[in-house]
Structure 1
Amino acid sequence: SNNEDGNERNHNDEEIQKALEEVDSCQNEIDALNEQASEEILKVEQKYNLLRNPLYEKRNESLNKIPHFWVTAFVNHPDLSTILSDSEEDCLHHLSKVTIEEFEDIKSGFKLGFYFEENPYFENRVLTKEYHLDSLEEPTSKSTTIKWKEGFDLTSTKHATSKPGQKRGTEHKSFFSWFNDHSDPLSDDIAEIIKDDIYINPLQYFLVPDVGVDNGVDDEEGSDQEDETEEQGGGITGDTDEETHDIQNTVSE
């Protein structure tokens, strides 16, 4: 009987080994298909990036006709608004255009472009931040050196204070400290928000001041957030509110 038990165990081991080899063979085929799919998806992405670019340019031309468009969209974004100081918000009133340039093979990185009118804060008319994420090399990022005008450096201690109520998990204390930070290009939450959320459809943030309610937060919680924002000096005030309201009505009609 010992021999029988031994033979049965050997038989089971052989069956298990054979099954493992079959699974391994299937897995290799699945991996090969996944790799092929990734390559084809990348080609499709590249194709549609080229098709989208002229539309983004056309959209930017139209957005230029709307006063304070980008600062309104930024301030109305629930995450981005938490890192904007009042001085930065004022500075971003001079932001006239935002661009995203995907590198040709997409996977290796992208470049954010921020175009400014002449303003009291810095000399630059264009600020860019590039992300080089090639998997074969160490990921890096680099950004334009900002030529601050005297007394207007928003990264100095005098200006670098974020609004109260900054969300936990928002690593950067202010917009311009994020712009100058290159410590972790692979986990850049702000770049991700601008590139994959706001830039895709900025109109939704321009037209919806109370984004919390729109995202399914109940009215009571939404109004609490609104009160909090007012106390913190957040949101676009004055003429821009009226302009946004007029545009909302026009779009609704």
Structure 2
Amino acid sequence: MTGPPSPKRQRTDDKPSEAEQEKVQKVLESVSKVEEELEKENVLQAREVLAIETKYNAKKRPTYLKRNKLLSEIPHFWKQVVRAVCAVRAGCSTFKENPYFSQTTLWKQVKFSEDEEEVEVTASDLTWKEKAEMTEDSDKFPFFQVPKRSQLERIFALP
């Protein structure tokens, strides 16, 4: 046997009363103010983090320069690094049919001249499907963008 019948419950499809709506609205306004406070704190935090990162990047710069100088004594160091990375990521990326671009295969190739004076980078083009071209997020595929000479010089310490 079961106990006494449960008390009646408000039907869920009933609309809330005006008093309940006002209470909910006030709570949401209060929550919104708290969210604004949190956002202000997030901005302050981001500024402080940036200041700390900038400070320590400046402190670490001489150490990075020292390391780069030492690595420059190893013949073909960066060439070997790129080859090792390419060996790990050799080949190409294969995709299923998708609403963004036509290719199912994307690739990138880095070639060094024998004297390491020149670096040639080539990559497959992305052919965006109609109305699918990325604008704000076009940097989602930076691996397939061919770097400029100045970027290569910075990466590989080219003359």
Aligned pairs for 1:40-55 (under 5 A) are 40-55=48-63
- Counterpart code for 1:189: P
Change (3 A) 1:9 1:92: farther
1: distance between equivalents of 2:34 and 2:72?
54
Deviation of residue 11 (structure 1)?
1.0
CA RMSD of aligned residues (A): 3.8
Change (3 A) 1:62 1:185: farther
Counterpart of 2:4 in structure 1 is none
1: distance between equivalents of 2:26 and 2:70?
64
Q: Which has the larger radius of gyration?
A: 2
Counterpart of 2:65 in structure 1 is 57
2: distance between equivalents of 1:92 and 1:37?
49
Aligned residues: 106
Report the secondary structure of 1:67's partner residue: coil
- Counterpart code for 2:78: W
2: distance between equivalents of 1:66 and 1:27?
54
Deviation of residue 80 (structure 1)?
7.8
1: distance between equivalents of 2:24 and 2:137?
45
Deviation of residue 67 (structure 1)?
1.2
Counterpart of 2:33 in structure 1 is 25
1: distance between equivalents of 2:114 and 2:27?
62
Report the secondary structure of 1:23's partner residue: helix
Decide which of 86, 109, 125 is 1:84's aligned counterpart: 109
Counterpart of 1:70 in structure 2 is 78
Deviation of residue 79 (structure 1)?
4.0
Q: Which has the higher contact order (CA 8 A, sep 6+)?
A: 1
Q: Deviations over 1:173-222 (max 9, x none)?
A: 49xxxxxxxxx99616249xx99xxx7xxxxxxxxxxxxxxxxxxxxxxx
Change (3 A) 1:51 1:58: same
Counterpart of 2:142 in structure 1 is 189
1: distance between equivalents of 2:53 and 2:30?
34
2: distance between equivalents of 1:36 and 1:26?
15
Report the secondary structure of 1:84's partner residue: strand
Change (3 A) 1:27 1:80: farther
- Counterpart code for 1:83: K
2: distance between equivalents of 1:80 and 1:63?
24
TM-score (norm 2): 0.53
Aligned pairs for 1:198-237 (under 5 A) are none
